[in-house]
Amino acid sequence: MSHTAELIAVGTELLLGNIANTNAQVLSQSLSALGINVFWHTVVGDNPQRLKEALDIARRRADILITTGGLGPTYDDLTKQTVCAAFGRPLVFHPDILEDIRAFYESALHVPMPENNTQQAELPEGCAVFDNPVGTAPGCAFEAEGIHVLMLPGPPHEMETMLRRHVEPYLRRLSHEVIVSRDIMTFGMGEPSVDELLHEKMAHMTNPTLATYAKPCEVRLRATAKAPTEDEARAMLAPVWEMVCETLGDVVYGVDVADLAECCRAQLLRRGLTLATAESCTGGLVAEKLTAIPGASAVYRGGVVSYWTSVKGDVLHVPQSLLDKYGPVSAECARAMAEGVRRITGADLGVSVTGTAGPDADERGVPVGIVYIGLAAPEGTFCRPLDLGRRRRDRIQGLAANHAFDVVRRYLQGLPVERI
């Protein structure tokens, strides 16, 4: 039997934007892996009437309802009371749970338990209790009218702990299918172009399915299959991967890879090569993305943020005559920066970025969005010229950083690097 779930997050702070609803992302990923369809996310404030209305809608379209939040000891924590009223379940006091809460206060928080925490020991009659070893609010699950109702705490570390300890085993018994997804990562082609090439095929796919998602500065395709076992689902996805690679060509840079930086790190490690960076308009973003990856020190020698033209000359040894003739935003300067950082760090490869990120043209009138990526390698020095258009400053910087990684990636794969 196929199950459909709705997630209902309770908390006015979510509606106000004071905190992000990260619980929904974690729960959706978990339920998807269990073969449970998540078709709706709902967020409702700390208001019993509006929560009741949300529950009335959800119970008509889903057979698994999961709430997060509203299980605390304060006056506005009314999730249990509202859910139990909606399903005709009385609340029952559990003395043993109260003792667990009292012990948590004394052993973990080293303070006496406030009396208003007593209400946290009240749970729906006949429910399965989910203990909470990292907080005070227990969760629970019960079935009524063919609907499974699960209530979980709102703090993300409490919710996720309960999810792994109790919720996943509970739901695993309900589902007889698994859903497996693979993320096919691309760079160098916009989402409209990707969609145009794949739309006809995607429109006729039911299981597996394929959908495009625009990430910052790149496009991800998610292939998803549902089957009785994980191995069967993965086998169904293999032809999808082959079809996408055949259609899109070398703009595909990996599957289930976090990003281009991780792709480059893995390939550098595999080849036993090291990289150094020289950055101007990206202000160290290329280095930041690479060093955020554990193990980057095995492939990354170091970098120079040469924001001022004088630093390009004094540190990277870009000839002054070249700077005077072509300017700091030029193919010639990009090549010299890459060669300079490769030389001073002893890295196998040097990659550089120089350009105009805006909001105004540079002192020589080079318009916003003009960027040059340099790559110095044992075989020679290359340059990719770019016109990224008049975009937001951070968007230009992000795209430029990704182009730097793409140049390195293509070099390592034996592909043309100067143009996509």
Q: Which pLDDT score, from 0 to 100, does residue 179 have?
A: 85
DSSP character string of 111-147: SPPPGGGGGGGEEETTPEEE--TTSS--EEEEEETTE
Q: In the chain, what are the domain boundaries?
A: 4-172, 178-255, 260-412
Give the whole-angstrom CA distance, residue 140 versus residue 420.
53
Tell me what the pLDDT averaged over the chain comes to: 95
Residue-level pLDDT at 401: 98
Which residue in 194, 95, 104 sits closest to 153, CA to CA? 104
Q: What does the alpha-carbon distance between residue 268 and residue 313 come to, in Å, rounded to a whole number?
A: 28
Fold of 4-172: Molybdenum Cofactor Biosythetic Enzyme; Chain A (3.40.980)
CATH superfamily ID and name for 260-412: CinA-like (3.90.950.20)
Residue 162 has pLDDT above 70, yes or no: yes
Q: What is the Cα–Cα distance from 327 to 320, expressed in whole angstroms?
A: 9
Residue found under tokens 């910052």 = 216
pLDDT tens digits, residue range 3-42? 999 999 999 999 999 999 999 999 999 998 888 999 999 9
Share of the chain above pLDDT 90, in %: 90
Of 218-227, 341-350, 401-410, where does mean pLDDT reach its minimum? 218-227
pTM over 0.85: no
**CA pair distance 43, 165, nearest whole angstrom:** 25
Question: With 70 as the cut, is the pLDDT of residue 98 above it?
Answer: yes
Q: Which long-range contacts (CB under 8 A, 24 or more apart) does 23-28 make?
A: 23/68, 23/69, 23/152, 23/154, 23/156, 23/159, 23/160, 24/68, 26/156, 26/159, 26/160, 26/163, 27/66, 27/68, 27/159, 27/163
Residue whose C-alpha is closest to residue 186's, from 248, 242, 134, 234: 248
Q: Specify the CATH number of the domain 178-255.
A: 3.30.70.2860
Tokens of 333: 């300067």
Query: DSSP readout, 380-391?
Result: EEEEEEEE--S-
Q: Tell me the three state secondary structure of residue 65.
A: strand
Q: Per-residue pLDDT averaged across 95-105, rounded?
A: 93
Residue 143 pLDDT class (50, 70, 90 cuts): very high
Q: What is the pLDDT of residue 336?
A: 98
CA distance 289 to 217: 13
Instruction: Report the length, in residues, of the chain.
Output: 420
Residue type, 269: L
Give residue 419's pLDDT band: very low, low, confident or very high (50, 70, 90).
confident
The mean per-residue pLDDT over the stretch 50-76 comes to: 95
Query: Residue 33: its pLDDT value, please?
Result: 84
The dihedral formed by the CA atoms of 73, 75, 77 and 82, expressed in degrees to the nearest 10: 120
Give yes or no for a contact between 369 and 379, defined as CB atoms under 8 angstroms apart. Answer: no
